[in-house]
Amino acid sequence: MLSQIIYALPFLAEGFAVTLWVSLLVVVLSLIAGVLMGVGLVYGPFPLRWAVRIFSDTIRGIPILVLIFFVYYGLPAVGLHLESFWAAVFALTLFKTAQVVEYLRGAVGSIPKGQSEAAMAIGLTFRQRLVYVIFPQAFRRFLPPWINGVTDAVKGSALVSLLGITDLMQAINQVIGRTYEAMPLYILGALVYFAVNYALSLASRRLERRFSFIRE
Amino acid sequence: MGYTLNFNLIWRHFDKLWGGLLLSLELAVISIAIGIVIGLVLAVWYVSAGRAVRTIIAGYVEFIRNVPLILLVYLVFYGLPTVVDIAYSAQTSFIATLSLYSGAYLVEVFRSGLEAVPRGQLDAGKAIGLTPWQRLLDVRLPTMLRITLPALSNTFISLFKDTSVASVISVPELTYGAQWINFNTFRIVEVYLVVTAMYLLTGYTLLFALRLVERRFKAAR
């Protein structure tokens, strides 16, 4: 039993690398898209605000699994052909982007209005106000929940196995298909996911404590 | 290209989706009911327990929260029967998994709720001569439930969405119904449009209804 699992380790490690790669892509892409859309939600004109609100509430209202299937099976029907890997990354990025939008809204919303007004009073432009006044303060409120939310990307990435992508989850299932050692392999997989995500949650909690001295 | 929407086949098989939606709701309701029991017992135990018990409860909570739900579903359905000699259906297996899953989230919710009950209320209970059990059941828990109600309804709605994972072990809930229609009729865009609308409508109706309940039972501040 043990020898079979040791034999499978390199294969599992490759799957784990795919899991990390999917998560990393999703986290980076959603951070960019989410911050841009979040700024649109907080400061944008009415139609933009409205569009971002609908986007975020729709995405957060449906299961990630449905989102993944919709993107994977639905896009070719409208003429967009993405490899399963990129379809999965796209779907997970949509899901994470909606989260980032909400983190940003929460963080920026927690900065007292007086800060904005003071910046305006000394003649800073909109971009300067964001870059020098709002974002440096909002950053401390944004970072802890955002890091904690990275675990959602790692956990969500396990669903890409359903599109036939050999991530850690799929690699585990394939090794079980050959060795019939279901329990040890699932536990091994659980421990790997746990190690990654628990480290992220600890980092988030530590940062939160580190930043908690700031009161209005 | 040149794809024209045609919902006829979706309506013909709509019973698959409707039945699926009802099963999704049923799975979520049963799981949160069991999850609430797990959460309450462990949270009350946690706040009064010693270090060892606390570590074990925290271990359970952290483990569940940091592992993908789909892996837990596989583990309970395919993994567990290889080491213990019990047989259960996919549906039972999923309910067990989702109950343990929601239980872990609710321990945290209830624990912070218990800690948020004002100290003065417990002292007042003591002053009028309530026993420790009465203080827990008549003072601490009711106040805690009012405080945690919003978090409880959020958990319920996210569990409703999580029931979609049951499709991976062929429990015929809403997402499974969608896949069935997807593979049998190839009206792909249509079926996912309809299913997305069903999840959204149900989710937001639940949210709205639960917010009304929350307003009714809002904790006095």
Residue B55 sits in a domain of what CATH number?
Answer: 1.10.3720.10
Q: Does A40 touch chain B (CB under 8 A)?
A: no
Q: Do B188 and A201 touch (CB under 8 A)?
A: no
pLDDT digits over B19-37, tens only?
A: 999 999 999 999 999 999 9
The residues on B that touch A, with CB distances below 8 Å, are 1, 3, 62-63, 65-72, 74-75, 78-80, 82-83, 161-165, 167-168, 175, 178-179, 182, 188-189, 192, 195-196, 199-200, 203-204
Domain span holding position B22:
8-216
Q: What is the mean pLDDT of chain B?
A: 92
B36 belongs to a structural domain: yes
Tokens describing residue B220 = 């006095």
Assign B88 a pLDDT band (cuts: 50, 70, 90). Answer: very high
Looking at residue B219, its pLDDT comes to 59
Q: Do B199 and A61 touch (CB under 8 A)?
A: yes
Query: Is it the case that residue B137 has pLDDT exceeding 60?
Result: yes
A25 pLDDT higher than 60: yes
CB contacts, 8 Å: B195 with chain A: 66
User: Under a CB-based contact definition with an 8 Å cutoff, are residues A169 and A161 in contact?
Assistant: yes
Query: What is the number of structural domains in chain B?
Result: 1
What ipTM describes this predicted complex? 0.91
What does the pLDDT look like over B63-78, one tens digit per residue?
999 999 999 999 999 9
Quote the DSSP letter at residue A123. T
Residue of A nearest to B60 (CA): A194
B/e letters for B109-118, b = 16+ CB within 10 Å, e = fewer, are: bbbebbeebe
pLDDT of residue B7: 85
Q: For residue B175, tell me if it sits in a domain.
A: yes
- Say how far apart CA B212 and CA B47 lie, in whole Å: 30
> What mean pLDDT is predicted for residues B8-28?
92
CB contacts, 8 Å: A197 with chain B: 65-67
Which residue spans within chain A are E strands per DSSP? none
CATH of A2-61+95-211, one of 1.10.530.10, 2.40.70.10, 1.10.3720.10, 3.40.50.720: 1.10.3720.10
Tell whether A188 lies on the interface with B, counting CB pairs under 8 A. no
Residue of B4, B25, B72, B74 for testing the chain A interface, max A β-carbons within 10 Å: B74
A182, B71: Cβ pair inside 8 Å? Answer: no
- The ranges assigned to domains in chain A are 2-61+95-211
B196·A70 Cβ contact <8 A:
yes
Cα distances from B92 to residues A63, A187, B24, B71, B171, in angstroms, run 21, 21, 13, 16, 10
Whole-number percent of chain A with pLDDT over 70: 98
Asked whether A112 and A88 are in contact (CB, 8 A), the reply is: no
Does B163 reside within a domain? yes
Closest-CA residue to B31 (of B122, B76, B88, B92)? B92
Kindly state the percentage of chain B with pLDDT values over 90.
70
In A88-105, which positions are buried (b, 16+ CB within 10 angstroms) versus exposed (e)? bbbbbbbbbbbbbbbbbb
Q: What is the pTM of this model?
A: 0.91
In the structure, what pLDDT confidence band is assigned to residue A215 with cuts at 50, 70 and 90? low
pLDDT at A81: 84
Q: Is B221 part of any domain?
A: no
Confidence of residue B13 (pLDDT cuts 50, 70, 90): confident
Q: Is B170 helix (H, G, I), strand (E, B) or coil?
A: coil
Give yes or no for a contact between A172 and B67, defined as CB atoms under 8 angstroms apart. no
Contact yes or no for A62 and B168 at CB 8 A: no
Please answer whether residues B50 and B215 qualify as being in contact, where contact means their C-beta atoms are separated by less than 8 angstroms: no
pLDDT in tens, B155-175: 999 999 999 999 999 999 999
